[in-house]
Amino acid sequence: MKKFSRRHFLQSASAAVGVSAVGAALPSFTTACKNKNTVYDGKKLNIALVGLGRYAGYLAEGLQEAQYCRLAGIVTGTPSKAVDWKKRYNIPDANVYNYQNFDGIKNNKDIDVVYIVLPNSMHKEFAIRTARAGKHVIVEKPMAITAADCEEMIDACKKAGVQMAIGYRLHYEPYNMEMKRLGQEKVFGQVRLVEASLGYKTGDPNEWRLKKALAGGGPLMNVGIYCVQASRYITGEEPLSVTAQFGPITDANLFKEVEASVTWQADFPSGALANCTSTYNCGIDRLYASAENGSFELSPAISYGPFRGKTSKGELHFPETNQQAVQCDEIAKVLLAGKQLPSHITGEEGLKDIKVMQAIYEAACTGKKVSIA
């Protein structure tokens, strides 16, 4: 298997593939927001990014293409980054914050939404601080590192009267939404098996994702959440229980605190089984579903594309999208219209994923089947 770095994994987008109709795969509010009677008066939702790491850069690029929102502010603990980003994205001094003075964003009318792109263990703190500041919240996945943290975040947003979305970009990506449609509409009959695998080769011992206090775990807490999500949105069901196994530690110096890989099996009410793997040992990006009368799959499937897919009846062809731009635009449309965010991207959805991942860790540690409450 060809080895590749995380940077290569994240930057692997290229030219679009053929175009097909995707209306059936996209959320219903997309069409509603394009209705000629929907008026936004040219207003764009103003988004501030908290944490200016690599993924924040992809979000910033996406926001340059977005139609209903824009990058309006930044929050960083690195002064040199603040200088660079201010110049690059024409951000005024009044919209630049650090982690200490962040709470002052409450008085900034030019910021509507705060998008948290920090290490996993910091999500709860800044989501709660954002809610208390009266701003809507977007939290990059995973939502937090424990279910209890997720519940605190949800409660804080409800108390403050703001909405919270989780950065589930694939819920707006045509190939993955077609996988969802094919599974939930039983186009090939009842789904019996879902296989999802995602991983990349890591080698930087200083990466925060290898520090348990910051990441909460290894590849499961990074790329594994996509596999959990895929098995849930293809079946349209919540898993009843899981079994799991940690992979071998291939580098004791690198994997001192987190797992190198983990494989798990989840059973669903319909009798469907999901077999999934997340790893930092090799590059893999695959999603496959087998149903009573056929199968459908993507590979690449879950990264940033370009995606390739096929079913028992032939190849899948959808347009390539800027996933970050589309995700932020669809969230912005809903908030600008004064509506409630769709359930598949809310904090309650994020909580479901964390409960599954906690059960996976418990199953791998104990060797027992663990029920998911």
Domain ranges for the chain:
40-169, 174-319+346-371
pLDDT digits (tens, 9 = 90+) for 131-140: 999 999 999 9
Alpha-carbon Rg for the chain, nearest whole angstrom, is 20
pLDDT score recorded for residue 304: 87
Residue 25 has pLDDT above 50, yes or no: no
Asked if the model's pLDDT at residue 128 lies above 90, the reply is yes
Residue 245 backbone phi and psi in degrees, to 5: -140, 135
| Positions marked active-site | 141, 226
Query: Residue 40 — left, alpha, or beta (φ > 0 → left; ψ -120 to 50 → alpha)?
Result: alpha
Mean pLDDT, range 210-233, rounded to an integer: 98
Mean pLDDT of 335-357: 98
Q: Global pTM?
A: 0.89
Residues 6+ apart with CB under 8 A from 159: 131
Q: What is the average pLDDT score of the chain?
A: 90
CATH-assigned architecture of domain 174-319+346-371: 2-Layer Sandwich (3.30)
What would the pLDDT profile of 300-315 be if each residue is shown by its tens digit?
999 888 999 999 999 9
Could you confirm whether domain 40-169 is CATH 3.40.50.300?
A: no
Residue 298, H or E segment: strand 294-298
The residue written with tokens 């994240």 in the block is 10
At residue 290, what is the residue type?
S
Structure confidence at residue 42 as a pLDDT band (50, 70, 90): confident
Give pLDDT, residue 40: 56
pLDDT at 74 over 60: yes
Q: Look at the chain and count its residues.
A: 373
What's the rounded mean pLDDT across residues 25-36? 33
